Protein backbone atom coordinates (compact mmCIF):
# COMPACT_ATOMS: atom_id res chain seq x y z
CA UNK A 1 0.00 0.00 0.00
CA UNK A 2 1.35 3.43 -0.92
CA UNK A 3 2.42 5.53 2.07
CA UNK A 4 0.55 8.75 2.94
CA UNK A 5 3.80 10.30 4.26
CA UNK A 6 5.32 13.00 2.04
CA UNK A 7 8.43 15.14 2.31
CA UNK A 8 7.57 18.81 2.71
CA UNK A 9 9.92 21.08 0.74
CA UNK A 10 9.64 24.87 0.94
CA UNK A 11 10.54 27.19 -1.90
CA UNK A 12 9.10 29.47 -4.57
CA UNK A 13 6.95 28.89 -7.63
CA UNK A 14 8.43 30.61 -10.70
CA UNK A 15 6.78 31.33 -14.05
CA UNK A 16 8.82 34.08 -15.81
CA UNK A 17 10.32 32.60 -18.96
CA UNK A 18 8.49 29.34 -18.25
CA UNK A 19 5.46 27.59 -19.75
CA UNK A 20 3.23 26.57 -16.83
CA UNK A 21 -0.04 24.77 -17.42
CA UNK A 22 -2.90 23.46 -15.34
CA UNK A 23 -0.97 20.61 -13.72
CA UNK A 24 2.72 21.58 -13.84
CA UNK A 25 4.89 24.51 -12.82
CA UNK A 26 8.55 25.26 -12.05
CA UNK A 27 9.61 25.24 -8.40
CA UNK A 28 12.83 26.50 -6.78
CA UNK A 29 13.48 24.70 -3.49
CA UNK A 30 15.00 26.62 -0.58
CA UNK A 31 17.01 23.48 0.21
CA UNK A 32 17.51 21.35 -2.94
CA UNK A 33 19.32 18.68 -0.90
CA UNK A 34 15.90 17.56 0.37
CA UNK A 35 15.24 16.04 -3.05
CA UNK A 36 17.80 13.40 -2.12
CA UNK A 37 15.25 11.80 0.22
CA UNK A 38 12.81 11.10 -2.63
CA UNK A 39 12.34 7.88 -4.53
CA UNK A 40 14.13 8.15 -7.90
CA UNK A 41 15.84 11.34 -6.73
CA UNK A 42 18.65 10.70 -9.23
CA UNK A 43 16.24 11.64 -12.02
CA UNK A 44 15.71 15.18 -10.70
CA UNK A 45 17.92 17.64 -12.59
CA UNK A 46 17.42 21.30 -11.57
CA UNK A 47 17.93 23.84 -14.34
CA UNK A 48 20.46 26.68 -14.14
CA UNK A 49 18.07 28.84 -12.13
CA UNK A 50 17.60 26.01 -9.66
CA UNK A 51 14.03 25.24 -10.72
CA UNK A 52 12.54 21.83 -11.39
CA UNK A 53 9.36 20.98 -13.23
CA UNK A 54 6.66 19.54 -10.99
CA UNK A 55 3.96 17.03 -11.85
CA UNK A 56 0.88 17.65 -9.73
CA UNK A 57 -0.31 14.55 -7.92
CA UNK A 58 -3.70 13.04 -8.84
CA UNK A 59 -4.72 15.50 -11.58
CA UNK A 60 -4.35 15.88 -15.34
CA UNK A 61 -5.36 19.23 -16.83
CA UNK A 62 -6.26 19.83 -20.49
CA UNK A 63 -3.12 20.42 -22.53
CA UNK A 64 -2.05 23.93 -23.47
CA UNK A 65 0.79 22.58 -25.62
CA UNK A 66 1.72 19.09 -26.72
CA UNK A 67 4.01 19.62 -29.65
CA UNK A 68 1.79 21.88 -31.74
CA UNK A 69 -1.37 20.36 -30.30
CA UNK A 70 -3.61 21.72 -27.55
CA UNK A 71 -7.00 20.98 -26.01
CA UNK A 72 -10.19 22.88 -25.24
CA UNK A 73 -10.06 24.51 -21.76
CA UNK A 74 -6.28 24.13 -21.53
CA UNK A 75 -5.67 27.84 -21.06
CA UNK A 76 -8.61 28.11 -18.67
CA UNK A 77 -7.13 25.35 -16.48
CA UNK A 78 -3.72 27.01 -16.52
CA UNK A 79 -5.19 30.40 -15.62
CA UNK A 80 -7.22 28.87 -12.79
CA UNK A 81 -4.10 27.25 -11.31
CA UNK A 82 -1.98 30.41 -11.60
CA UNK A 83 -4.76 32.52 -10.11
CA UNK A 84 -5.08 30.13 -7.15
CA UNK A 85 -1.35 30.51 -6.57
CA UNK A 86 -1.73 34.29 -6.62
CA UNK A 87 -0.10 35.30 -9.90
CA UNK A 88 -1.76 38.35 -11.46
CA UNK A 89 -1.32 40.56 -14.54
CA UNK A 90 0.34 37.72 -16.42
CA UNK A 91 1.72 38.58 -19.85
CA UNK A 92 2.08 35.67 -22.26
CA UNK A 93 3.82 35.25 -25.58
CA UNK A 94 2.10 32.15 -26.91
CA UNK A 95 2.56 29.81 -23.90
CA UNK A 96 5.61 31.48 -22.36
CA UNK A 97 5.22 33.91 -19.47
CA UNK A 98 6.96 37.24 -20.14
CA UNK A 99 5.90 39.03 -16.97
CA UNK A 100 3.65 38.64 -13.92
CA UNK A 101 2.83 40.23 -10.59
CA UNK A 102 4.58 39.02 -8.51
CA UNK A 103 7.41 37.23 -10.31
CA UNK A 104 7.49 34.36 -7.82
CA UNK A 105 5.15 33.00 -5.14
CA UNK A 106 6.35 31.44 -1.86
CA UNK A 107 4.98 28.03 -1.09
CA UNK A 108 5.74 24.39 -0.48
CA UNK A 109 5.35 21.02 -2.08
CA UNK A 110 4.53 17.65 -0.57
CA UNK A 111 6.33 14.92 -2.48
CA UNK A 112 7.83 11.47 -2.02
CA UNK A 113 9.03 10.51 -5.51
CA UNK A 114 10.01 11.71 -8.95
CA UNK A 115 8.30 10.35 -12.04
CA UNK A 116 10.06 8.73 -14.98
CA UNK A 117 10.80 12.19 -16.41
CA UNK A 118 12.42 13.49 -13.23
CA UNK A 119 9.49 15.61 -12.08
CA UNK A 120 8.70 15.52 -8.35
CA UNK A 121 5.13 14.24 -8.06
CA UNK A 122 3.66 16.87 -5.78
CA UNK A 123 0.81 18.35 -3.85
CA UNK A 124 1.07 22.16 -3.93
CA UNK A 125 0.62 24.42 -0.90
CA UNK A 126 0.77 28.19 -0.51
CA UNK A 127 3.01 29.97 2.01
CA UNK A 128 5.96 28.76 4.05
CA UNK A 129 5.10 29.76 7.61
CA UNK A 130 4.28 26.89 9.93
CA UNK A 131 5.89 24.28 7.70
CA UNK A 132 8.94 22.31 8.79
CA UNK A 133 10.73 20.89 5.79
CA UNK A 134 13.04 18.74 7.90
CA UNK A 135 10.27 16.19 8.44
CA UNK A 136 8.04 13.75 6.62
CA UNK A 137 4.39 14.79 6.88
CA UNK A 138 1.35 12.56 6.96
CA UNK A 139 -1.00 14.06 4.38
CA UNK A 140 -4.46 13.69 5.87
CA UNK A 141 -7.82 14.94 4.60
CA UNK A 142 -7.47 18.34 6.29
CA UNK A 143 -4.09 19.02 4.66
CA UNK A 144 -5.17 17.61 1.31
CA UNK A 145 -8.06 20.07 1.18
CA UNK A 146 -5.55 22.96 1.33
CA UNK A 147 -3.75 21.92 -1.84
CA UNK A 148 -4.03 23.28 -5.36
CA UNK A 149 -4.66 19.70 -6.48
CA UNK A 150 -7.84 19.52 -4.42
CA UNK A 151 -8.98 22.91 -5.72
CA UNK A 152 -8.43 21.97 -9.37
CA UNK A 153 -10.59 18.87 -8.93
CA UNK A 154 -13.31 20.54 -6.87
CA UNK A 155 -13.79 23.27 -9.49
CA UNK A 156 -13.77 20.87 -12.42
CA UNK A 157 -10.59 22.48 -13.75
CA UNK A 158 -8.72 19.18 -14.16
CA UNK A 159 -9.36 15.48 -14.58
CA UNK A 160 -9.01 13.03 -11.70
CA UNK A 161 -6.00 10.94 -12.79
CA UNK A 162 -4.45 8.82 -10.08
CA UNK A 163 -1.72 6.20 -10.00
CA UNK A 164 -0.90 3.18 -7.87
CA UNK A 165 1.64 5.45 -6.12
CA UNK A 166 -1.22 7.69 -4.92
CA UNK A 167 -2.29 6.58 -1.41
CA UNK A 168 -5.62 4.77 -1.33
CA UNK A 169 -7.15 7.22 1.18
CA UNK A 170 -6.21 10.11 -1.12
CA UNK A 171 -7.77 8.37 -4.11
CA UNK A 172 -11.00 7.88 -2.18
CA UNK A 173 -11.27 11.54 -1.13
CA UNK A 174 -10.21 13.01 -4.46
CA UNK A 175 -12.51 10.70 -6.40
CA UNK A 176 -15.41 11.91 -4.25
CA UNK A 177 -14.45 15.54 -4.96
CA UNK A 178 -14.20 14.88 -8.70
CA UNK A 179 -17.51 13.04 -8.69
CA UNK A 180 -19.21 16.02 -7.02
CA UNK A 181 -17.74 18.36 -9.65
CA UNK A 182 -19.03 16.07 -12.40
CA UNK A 183 -22.49 15.89 -10.87
CA UNK A 184 -22.55 19.71 -10.78
CA UNK A 185 -21.38 19.80 -14.41
CA UNK A 186 -18.44 22.06 -13.57
CA UNK A 187 -15.59 22.99 -15.88
CA UNK A 188 -14.29 20.08 -17.93
CA UNK A 189 -17.41 18.03 -17.23
CA UNK A 190 -19.49 20.38 -19.38
CA UNK A 191 -17.43 19.40 -22.41
CA UNK A 192 -15.98 15.97 -21.71
CA UNK A 193 -16.55 13.48 -24.56
CA UNK A 194 -14.09 10.76 -23.54
CA UNK A 195 -16.79 8.07 -23.53
CA UNK A 196 -17.26 8.49 -27.30
CA UNK A 197 -15.42 10.76 -29.70
CA UNK A 198 -14.40 11.05 -33.35
CA UNK A 199 -10.76 10.76 -34.36
CA UNK A 200 -9.97 11.33 -38.00
CA UNK A 201 -7.35 14.05 -37.51
CA UNK A 202 -5.86 16.29 -34.80
CA UNK A 203 -8.54 18.95 -35.30
CA UNK A 204 -11.14 16.53 -33.92
CA UNK A 205 -9.53 16.79 -30.47
CA UNK A 206 -7.78 20.16 -30.92
CA UNK A 207 -8.59 23.55 -29.35
CA UNK A 208 -11.94 23.81 -31.15
CA UNK A 209 -12.70 20.10 -31.06
CA UNK A 210 -13.77 17.51 -28.51
CA UNK A 211 -12.38 17.43 -24.97
CA UNK A 212 -11.07 14.06 -23.79
CA UNK A 213 -8.93 12.78 -20.92
CA UNK A 214 -5.50 14.43 -21.45
CA UNK A 215 -3.60 11.15 -21.10
CA UNK A 216 -5.76 9.67 -23.86
CA UNK A 217 -5.37 12.89 -25.89
CA UNK A 218 -1.58 12.52 -25.81
CA UNK A 219 -1.85 8.91 -26.96
CA UNK A 220 -4.19 9.95 -29.79
CA UNK A 221 -1.87 12.72 -31.01
CA UNK A 222 1.12 10.36 -31.03
CA UNK A 223 -0.97 7.77 -32.86
CA UNK A 224 -1.97 10.31 -35.53
CA UNK A 225 1.70 11.23 -35.98
CA UNK A 226 2.46 7.54 -36.50
CA UNK A 227 -0.32 7.32 -39.09
CA UNK A 228 1.20 10.30 -40.91
CA UNK A 229 4.49 8.41 -40.84
CA UNK A 230 2.97 5.33 -42.47
CA UNK A 231 1.51 3.31 -39.60
CA UNK A 232 -1.42 1.19 -40.76
CA UNK A 233 -3.89 0.25 -38.08
CA UNK A 234 -6.22 1.80 -35.56
CA UNK A 235 -5.50 3.35 -32.17
CA UNK A 236 -5.81 0.02 -30.37
CA UNK A 237 -3.32 -1.56 -32.79
CA UNK A 238 -0.86 1.29 -32.25
CA UNK A 239 -1.09 1.03 -28.45
CA UNK A 240 -0.44 -2.71 -28.61
CA UNK A 241 2.43 -2.15 -31.04
CA UNK A 242 3.99 0.46 -28.75
CA UNK A 243 3.94 -1.98 -25.84
CA UNK A 244 6.59 -4.03 -27.67
CA UNK A 245 9.06 -1.12 -27.38
CA UNK A 246 10.66 -0.80 -23.95
CA UNK A 247 11.64 2.81 -24.63
CA UNK A 248 8.12 3.92 -25.51
CA UNK A 249 5.30 1.84 -24.14
CA UNK A 250 2.15 3.95 -24.45
CA UNK A 251 -0.20 1.09 -23.62
CA UNK A 252 -0.66 1.95 -19.94
CA UNK A 253 -1.60 -0.66 -17.40
CA UNK A 254 -4.82 0.36 -15.66
CA UNK A 255 -6.55 -0.94 -12.52
CA UNK A 256 -10.35 -0.68 -12.67
CA UNK A 257 -12.27 -0.17 -9.42
CA UNK A 258 -9.19 -1.37 -7.48
CA UNK A 259 -9.89 -4.93 -8.56
CA UNK A 260 -9.06 -5.69 -12.22
CA UNK A 261 -5.91 -4.81 -14.16
CA UNK A 262 -6.08 -4.33 -17.93
CA UNK A 263 -4.16 -2.56 -20.68
CA UNK A 264 -5.39 0.81 -21.93
CA UNK A 265 -5.96 -0.73 -25.36
CA UNK A 266 -8.52 -3.12 -23.86
CA UNK A 267 -10.73 -0.19 -22.86
CA UNK A 268 -11.07 1.08 -26.44
CA UNK A 269 -13.41 0.06 -29.23
CA UNK A 270 -12.92 1.78 -32.58
CA UNK A 271 -15.49 1.81 -35.35
CA UNK A 272 -14.05 3.66 -38.34
CA UNK A 273 -13.28 7.14 -36.97
CA UNK A 274 -15.45 6.73 -33.86
CA UNK A 275 -13.74 5.67 -30.60
CA UNK A 276 -15.66 4.39 -27.58
CA UNK A 277 -13.95 4.39 -24.17
CA UNK A 278 -15.49 1.59 -22.12
CA UNK A 279 -14.77 2.67 -18.54
CA UNK A 280 -15.77 5.38 -16.11
CA UNK A 281 -12.80 7.76 -15.78
CA UNK A 282 -13.34 7.96 -12.02
CA UNK A 283 -12.89 4.18 -11.68
CA UNK A 284 -9.36 4.16 -13.11
CA UNK A 285 -6.01 3.93 -11.36
CA UNK A 286 -2.98 3.95 -13.66
CA UNK A 287 0.00 1.78 -12.77
CA UNK A 288 2.99 4.06 -12.11
CA UNK A 289 5.84 3.39 -14.54
The per-residue pLDDT for 265 is 97
**pLDDT the model gives residue 131:** 78
Name the residue with higher pLDDT: 275 or 67: 275
- At 247 the pLDDT is 61
CA distance 127 to 10: 8
Q: How far apart are CA 33 and CA 220, in angstroms?
A: 38
Task: Give mean pLDDT, residues 262-288.
Answer: 96
pLDDT tens digits, 74-89: 999 999 999 999 999 9
Query: How is 79-113 classified by DSSP, letter by letter?
Result: HHHHHHHT-EEEEEETTEEEEEESSEEEEEEEEEE
Q: What are the structural domain ranges in the chain?
A: 5-165, 192-286
**Does the structure show a pLDDT above 70 at 171?**
yes
Per-residue pLDDT of 188-207, as tens digits, reads 999 999 999 999 999 999 99
Read out DSSP for 146-211?
TSHHHHHHHTTSSEE-EETTS-HHHHHHHHHHHHHHHHTT-GGGGTB-TTEEE-SSGGGGSTTS-B
pLDDT tens digits for 215-270?
Answer: 999 999 999 999 999 999 999 999 999 887 756 789 999 999 999 999 999 999 99
Per-residue model confidence (pLDDT) at position 133: 78
Q: What is the pLDDT of residue 68?
A: 85
Confidence class for position 181, pLDDT limits 50, 70, 90: very high
- pLDDT score of 246: 57
5-165 under CATH 2.20.25.90, yes or no: no
CA distance linking residue 196 with residue 226, whole number of Å: 22
Across 15-42, average pLDDT: 97
Looking at residue 1, its pLDDT comes to: 59
3-state helix, strand, coil in the chain (%, to 5): 30, 30, 40
Task: Using the predicted structure, report yes or no on whether residue 185 has a pLDDT greater than 70.
Answer: yes
3-state secondary structure of 74: helix
> What average pLDDT does this structure show over 177-182?
98
Could you read off the pLDDT of 109-163 as tens digits, one per residue? 999 999 999 999 999 999 987 777 778 999 999 999 999 999 999 999 999 999 9
Structural element, H or E, at residue 125: strand 120-126
Note the pTM of the prediction, 2 decimals: 0.96
Residue 64 has pLDDT above 90, yes or no: yes
Amino acid sequence: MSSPFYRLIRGNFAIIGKQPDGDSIRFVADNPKLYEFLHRAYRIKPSRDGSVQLRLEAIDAPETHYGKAAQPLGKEARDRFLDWLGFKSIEFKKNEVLDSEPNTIPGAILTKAADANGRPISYVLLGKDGFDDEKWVMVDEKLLEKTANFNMLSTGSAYYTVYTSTPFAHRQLLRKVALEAREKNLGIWQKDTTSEFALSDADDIGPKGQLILPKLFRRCIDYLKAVDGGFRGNLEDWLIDSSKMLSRNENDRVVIRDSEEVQLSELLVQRNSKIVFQADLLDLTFVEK
